[in-house]
Amino acid sequence: MNIKRNVLLNPGPATTTDTVKMAQVVPDICPREKEFAGMMKQLRADLLRVAHAPAEKFTSVLFCGSGTINIDICLNSLLPEGKKVLVVNNGAYSSRAVEVCQYYGLPHIDLKSSVFDQPDLDQVKKALDENPDVAVVYTTHHETGTGILNPIREIGALAHQHGAIFVVDTTSSLGMIPFDMVQDNVDFCMASAQKGLMAMTGLSFIIGNEAEIRKSKDYPKRSYYCNLYLQYDFFERTGEMHFTPPVQTIYATMQALKEYFEAGETEKFARHHRVIEAIHQGLADMGLREVIRRDIQSGLVASVLYPNDANWDFERVHDYCYEHGFTIYPGKISTTNTFRLCSLGTIDTPDIEAFFKVLKEAFEKNGIQIPAKYD
Q: Is the distance from CB of 318 to CB of 328 less than 8 angstroms?
A: yes
DSSP E strands, 247-374: 301-305, 326-327, 329-330, 338-342
Q: Looking at beta carbons only, is 169 or 187 nearer to ligand PLP?
A: 169
Q: Looking at beta carbons only, is 190 or 368 nearer to ligand PLP?
A: 190
Q: Looking at beta carbons only, is 66 or 366 nearer to ligand PLP?
A: 66
We find the least distance from the C-beta atom of residue 308 to ligand PLP, in angstroms, to be 29
Q: What is the dihedral of CA 218, 224, 226, 231, to 10 degrees?
A: 70
We find the least distance from the C-beta atom of residue 365 to ligand PLP, in angstroms, to be 31
We find the least distance from the C-beta atom of residue 154 to ligand PLP, in angstroms, to be 19
Q: Looking at beta carbons only, is 11 or 119 nearer to ligand PLP?
A: 11
Which residue in 212, 200, 198, 214 sits closest to 245, CA to CA?
Answer: 200
We find the least distance from the C-beta atom of residue 357 to ligand PLP, in angstroms, to be 28
Q: Looking at beta carbons only, is 281 or 327 nearer to ligand PLP?
A: 327
We find the least distance from the C-beta atom of residue 140 to ligand PLP, in angstroms, to be 5
Start-to-end Cα distance in the chain: 50
Other CB atoms closer than 10 Å to residue 180's CB: what's the count? 12
Q: Which residues does 185 contact at the CB level (< 8 Å), separation at least 6?
A: 152, 153, 155, 156, 157, 159, 160, 166
Burial of 129 (0-12, 13-18, 19+ CB in 10 A): exposed
We find the least distance from the C-beta atom of residue 165 to ligand PLP, in angstroms, to be 19
Interface residue list for ligand PLP (CB under 6 A) = 11-12, 66-68, 93, 140, 144, 169, 171-172, 192
We find the least distance from the C-beta atom of residue 283 to ligand PLP, in angstroms, to be 21
Q: Looking at beta carbons only, is 115 or 362 nearer to ligand PLP?
A: 115
Reduce the secondary structure of 173-195 to three states and give it as a string.
CCCCCCCCCCCCCCCEEEEECCC
Q: Which residues does 252 contact at the CB level (< 8 Å), separation at least 6?
A: 16, 20, 21, 23, 24, 193, 199, 200
**Does the CA dihedral 118-164-203-46 come out positive or negative?**
positive
What DSSP element (H or E) covers 63?
strand 58-64
We find the least distance from the C-beta atom of residue 12 to ligand PLP, in angstroms, to be 5
Task: Quote the CA–CA distance of 139 and 165 in Å, as a whole number.
Answer: 12
Q: Looking at beta carbons only, is 90 or 231 nearer to ligand PLP?
A: 90
Determine the residue with CB nearest ligand PLP.
67
What DSSP element (H or E) covers 59?
strand 58-64
We find the least distance from the C-beta atom of residue 312 to ligand PLP, in angstroms, to be 26
Q: Looking at beta carbons only, is 67 or 282 nearer to ligand PLP?
A: 67
Q: Looking at beta carbons only, is 16 or 140 nearer to ligand PLP?
A: 140
Helix/strand/coil for 86: strand
Task: Quote the CA–CA distance of 6 and 14 in Å, as a whole number.
Answer: 10
Q: Is the distance from CB of 29 to CB of 36 less than 8 angstroms?
A: yes
We find the least distance from the C-beta atom of residue 10 to ligand PLP, in angstroms, to be 10
Q: Looking at beta carbons only, is 59 or 204 nearer to ligand PLP?
A: 204
Range list of H helices, 131-221: 152-162, 210-215
